[in-house]
A and B are shown apart, each in its own frame.
Chain A
Amino acid sequence: MAGIKKVTTPISAEQIRDLKAGDRVAITGVIYTGRDAAHKNLVNLLAEGQPLPVELENQIIYYVGPTPAKPGQAIGSCGPTTSGRMDAYAPLLIKLGLKGMIGKGPRNAKVISAMKEHGAVYFAAIGGAAAVIAQSVKKAEVIAFPELGPEAIHRLEVEDFPCIVAIDSAGNDLYESGLEQYRLS
């Protein structure tokens, strides 16, 4: 765990190539929230040939459903949700140009294969550290599917949002290598 790498959005192909599983990173720029219901809606819109409410090319989606903001706060508590539930939808969005995903927990082979093919990165944020993570979110607004409540797509402006590269664009997977390193039985 060396220094912390800075990542800015929209994320460039060069930045993607530079990020390796096991890097600590701080993300600054605009990221978009989306979890189960929003992903289902996006994929349904694509199936119907409709335009998406958000341009995903070179962007990062954060798997999160925040708590409501208190007065004076940009956002409430906003830690990552389990990414595996988005595995069914992620390969299609990666194919459309999505370059980064933030969540927690491992991804399946199809997602990793799409990441390798199209050059995308999966970042892990710390599940449960939701109040701390909220401090790096400076602004939040709902931009699509407001009827989904906490599952609506929010546009977040983040500054030094802390995470770890869990799976890089070469397919190196910290969930596998980390476990192997410490496995005793």
Chain B
Amino acid sequence: MREIPVAKIVETVKGLCIEAACNLPEDVEELIKNNQVKEESEFGKYIFEQIIENVKLAREEKQAMCQDTGITVVYLELGQDVHITGGSLTDAIHEGVRQGYQEGFLRKSVVDDPVFLRKNTGDNTPAVIHTEVVSGDHLKIMIVPKGAGSENMGALKMLKPSDGIEGIKDFILKTVREAGGNPCPPIIVGVGIGGTMEKATMLAKRSLTRKAREHNPDQNYKALEEELLEKINLSGIGPQGLGGRVTALAVNIEAFPTHIATLPVAVNLNCHASRHSEAIL
């Protein structure tokens, strides 16, 4: 059984939080640049220029590219042959987030109670942690800081099987249209279909971390991704919602087997700053 000390996890999470906030993955940057040439509106072109300049500046200065450095979503892939030593895994993640947001000059954006007190916890904890136990002796940590501007525009619908593919398309397009300029377009549209209520939302969020320009390996879903992207970009919403050709950079669909009586569809939107970072211990 392989041992991983909590101190190593704290250090890794700390670094990943800062990395994710300041350094946009290069494949996402490339995706933004590839879409810049498609934009026709003058404001749209100007906005693309500013976004690309901002990515560069944030990386060089090691500064947050967006002031909303998010609530911290953490994906753990924990090998079943790993033994975490020296403390609790959950505590280590939170300590890493605490240190990362402090030392990286990131914004603390979490309130303790969602309804009554809404007092800032002051250190961006707690994080939202999703753990999957897998075979092997590694620990993979992925950090996804999620801003609320785009998160607020997501939606879930429990469709009936008879609503079919048209029902799915209508719901996704309606969600994107209603979001308009709020989620900081050009956006990445994450879609989860199937499973149960919570499974669909998990798939939608996870799809946002897919490598740029990769499609669902299933040809049916790939075609649906392409069709939806084309339709979304006919909406006219454009960069920042001020009108233009490029409303979305990608549509990522993930599917999962579901119950005979249901067809859950979740849409989770991400702004152009599709931030994530990962490490394998």
* A67-B106, A164-B43 known; A126 vs B240 contact (CB < 8 Å): yes
Residues of B contacting A: mostly: loop
Cβ contact within 8 Å between A179 and B57: no
- A86: CB under 8 A from chain B? no
Cβ contact within 8 Å between B180 and A129: no
Annotate B38-69 by CB proximity to A: 1 below 8 A, 0 otherwise: 00111100110011011001100101111111
* A67-B69, A128-B273 known; A105 vs B181 contact (CB < 8 Å): yes
* A76-B67, A124-B242, A128-B66 known; A67 vs B105 contact (CB < 8 Å): yes
Task: Note all chain A residues with C-beta closer than 8 A to B43.
Answer: 1, 22, 164, 178
Total A-B residue contacts, Cβ distance less than 8 Å: 165
* Residue of B whose beta carbon sits closest to that of A174: B242
Cβ contact within 8 Å between B67 and A130: yes
* A105-B182, A127-B271 known; A183 vs B235 contact (CB < 8 Å): yes
Task: Note all chain B residues with C-beta closer than 8 A to A109.
Answer: none
- B276: CB under 8 A from chain A? no
Task: Note all chain A residues with C-beta closer than 8 A to B136.
Answer: none
For chain A, which range describes its interface: under 10, 10 to 19, 20 to 34, or 35 or more residues?
35 or more
Query: Complex Cα distance A164/B152, Å?
Result: 24
Cβ contact within 8 Å between B180 and A106: yes
> What is the minimal beta-carbon distance from A173 to any residue of chain B, in angstroms?
10
Within 8 A of B (CB), among A105-160: 105-106, 124, 126-132, 134, 148-151
- A171: CB under 8 A from chain B? no
Task: Note all chain A residues with C-beta closer than 8 A to B240.
Answer: 104, 124, 126-127
Cβ contact within 8 Å between A174 and B182: no
Task: Note all chain B residues with C-beta closer than 8 A to A177.
Answer: 243
Cβ contact within 8 Å between B105 and A150: no
Known: A105-B180, A128-B65, A129-B54. 4 other contacts (CB 8 A): A67-B67, A130-B58, A130-B66, A179-B238
Chain A residues with CB under 8 Å of chain B are 1, 22, 24, 37, 64-70, 76-79, 81-82, 84, 104-106, 124, 126-132, 134, 148-151, 162, 164, 166, 174-175, 177-185
